[in-house]
Structure 1
């Protein structure tokens, strides 16, 4: 994986092969950040990266100047890799080793951008539980967005506060916003 833009532009980060992950493709990540770039000043926001895996999305936000990033994953190897990479590049990424659903049920941490990249094998009910918990616990700051990455074969458009989806190859990003 590579960092698309910002301070660490073009840096390649190689994750260990034994991590249970499916990193967001560079093409999809670049498209996502083009959308976000039109909405947010990256140095003014806070980010919550759920099912963080390799930390790919967290690194991109850090490279673009975001100083408040929290990455949540239940795999110790993923958390260890994110911590090592964040330290190596002096990135402001705080990690939490936790089951994401348990974290969302108890968390009071609010963010402008919440990004979730759960396993594509999740059921639609499991995918829909993410926005349900985020909005039930009021975890988005005003004007914030929840983005859930999923396969184009998964439809979560009936989930609470769904706004729109964008498709990039086999990847899809669904956007959720608090109604005004």
Structure 2
């Protein structure tokens, strides 16, 4: 997220009480983890990094399970992982993951372009506030873009990292 919002990332680093060296080391470990081709599997890695999920629920229509973890930096967001069957040797695989609003946490009021501030809203919140909205691939695997329509008919594209708003393109 520091690619798009370095000042916010620096503020977050300070809020967590981490040094720049600790931040770089954590990023190095994350990059190594996320690119590892072998090991216990992606879901196990999330559990080893975040502990047991705060909540879980089954979406029977898709034979999927949604797991959510709280995050120390964002109390009003959760890290969400959707898992489902693979049909292979492993019984489940991660279908997707990203940041979502915590149950009961107030979502921002999104009425205009001015309400879209970095790190303030999730992709689902923008899509719901400004229909019609159409997601598409972003510039990296952790990024998505969302084409949407502002009141008055103006079309815009927003970029999200891990499901959190970063910028308008």
Q: Same fold (TM over 0.5)?
A: no
Bigger Rg over Cα:
2
For normalisation by structure 2, the TM-score amounts to: 0.31
Relative CO higher for 1 or 2, CA cutoff 8 Å, sep ≥ 6?
Answer: 1
